[in-house]
Structure 1
Amino acid sequence: MNLTLNDEQKRIQTLAREFAEREVKPGAIERDETSTYDVGLFNKLGKLGLIGLPYPTTVGGQGMGYLEYALAVEEISKVDASLGISYSVATSLYGGTIFNSSASEEVKKKFMAPVLSGEHLGGFGLTEHGAGSDAAGQKTIAKQDGDFYILNGSKCFNTNGPLADYYVIYALTDPSVGTKSMTCFAVERSTPGVSIGHIENKMGIRSAQVSEILLDNVRVPAANMLAQPGEGFKLAMKTLDCGRIGVAAQGLGIAEGAFEIARKYMMEREQFGKPISKQQYLAFKMAELYTKIQGAKLLVYGAALAHDAGTRFTVDAAMAKMTATDVAMEVTTEAVQMLGGNGYMREYEVERMMRDAKITQIYEGTNEIQRLVISGTLFR
């Protein structure tokens, strides 16, 4: 496996890094404090061509791959994991559901191009209050009515929910057979009956907007169906595999961002007459963390390459997501400790990164679910 970046991948990496440092980082603390989202930053991601990286030009993308996309998520998440997950959801969960669906090319372009351009946000409606890790516990119903389907139900923990103009919504056509009737629809926010429920007040990723999506007799054209009844569960699982690469890249970026803050601080902070980086215990701890970050990076890039090669990547994505997010939690916790009292203060940013890191171990499949995925392949 060759993990040497080519010139185009290096260009994407540099483009995302410079944008993150120049435009995303300056307001990250304030956006976290106020739980506000800057839609303008998402718009600029689209203008730079970063949102559509892994999709062909026929649907409004850039015709590249998941490695380029992972590089961009990583760089954005080094300074603002909230924008990182908003970007990831719009690209891999919303965009991935539609692109991997059985919808016509016309429908794919209609619903993907406005989001990939950065002009509109997209959301992903799978999770419900009674259906988290157990996606089969869906209660949202889609009932056919001629050339339309009527949707009733609700979705929770929907990243981009309050701001999105487009959603992908998973539902059952026959609750008595469960996932054997699961389907999925592209739904416009402007459709009568679509409304925003509770907006979450979160521990971390506070700038990202997360809410309930309420569906009350929402009338959706049958042409907007993205998966035939019974095919929706398979589409959701494939989409989550893709999404886990994005969350893995997010975790990697958080870890790298916190590590760099700690590294610079340790070179400047003096105690007992010398920089604390000269204290062997702390230096060795940083060496261990750096090694874990590099290991996580290999898994993240490897999963993205497996996706782009067209090989089965479910386990690769699970290993990358589990490892990179666990490393993110460890590195950010240690970074707070390395900075001592300053690490606990918001102006030094690592406490925000620690809060942000925690959710990466939970969403898009808890790390316990990732262990189930991985272990399930070991004893066949």
Structure 2
Amino acid sequence: MTTQKLDIDAVRQQFPILHQQVNGKPLVYFDNAATTQKPKEVIDALSQYYTGYNANIHRGIHTLAEKATSAFEATRSAFRTFLNAAGTEEIILTYGTTDGINLVAQTFGRSFIGKGDEILISTMEHHSNIVPWQMLCEVNGCVLKVIPVDESGELDMAAFENLLSDRTRLVSVVHASNALGTINPITEIIRKAHHVGAKVLVDGAQAASHLTIDVQALDVDFYVLSLHKMYGPTGVGVLYGKKDLLNSMPPYRGGGEMIKEVTFAKTTYNDLPYKFEAGTPNIADVVAARTAITFIESLGKDRIAAHELSLLQYATDALQGIDGLRVIGTAKNKVSVLSFVIKGVHHQDLAVILDQQGIAVRTGHHCTQPLMQRFDITGTTRASFAVYNTTAEIDRLREGVERAVKMLK
């Protein structure tokens, strides 16, 4: 069955921020791997919360509190469906992917990964999936091992298998690389890690808006994501965890909502998922996050993916002919991220000139400094595409890069 194409003009009309000029030029926004723009319905959902039923949740019995609580929990239910979790108790609402990884490191990690135990990560990890494990190793005496990446930006799976052992307690890998776009074979990674008794955490920050995710089919132990990369608000994320694992883990933070009863002698902790949700959460943005999920589902993940893949292919072909340009990350399976370097041109200088033409790209190491070292570069220029981008915008990118190269060389 052929997938019906999206009406991109109609999609673009839903994003107010896109219809402006930057430095006297129509905005071209190619920094979607850092954060996506927000459709008007998400912005309206935020406004409606604050103007209609702003109240703290769970403990109030008045009408506004009950309405806010219902909306907040409706978002949790939407995430359960979005990820195909077995139940809402497996959906922990966090402040983002980084918060979710740190939660696992400070609870599961401190409790179940001890001296001499091993954690496997990959060379392409974001700093958020490196530093928390280094911190754990410093405290608990566990050992961090790294899966290498080949020249195309794909994981060396043979090396991964060789690193696995009966000392491996956790494998924590990115689903899709923010710096390269590489989609990792997480089904195979999970299966092989489970074979040696290890648990698996998958960083889905870059994958969640592009790929269909079924945590039960994957049999993944933990999955983390951020809404601001999914057309949703900032400051909202999800940690999915298998129920038995979450029940075995101690609380991460102490305070309101994560308790059942407090005395000076002892505190009894709340049930899942509230055990890990201390304090007043980011209510308004969580409420609006459900609208972002609805937006994605209304377009269809398959149609979004097809459009973004076509943009990636078009951009790769369009930029390949530029003198001195080299794409960093040529994996067979990628999300819509195109990173490149140009001989004799510093990526920051290139970005400044592109910005003068109204074109927003990201430059630098993309919080993946070890990966940049692997490719013997200091950073790249990264153009990342979302559902509202067009081939006409890519044409402007090519023209802008060509103009910059002439100016800088």
| TM-score between both structures, scaled by the size of structure 1 | 0.27
Which fold has the larger relative contact order, with Cα–Cα distance below 8 Å and residues 6 or more apart in sequence? 2
Q: Which has the larger radius of gyration?
A: 2
Q: Which has the higher helix share?
A: 1
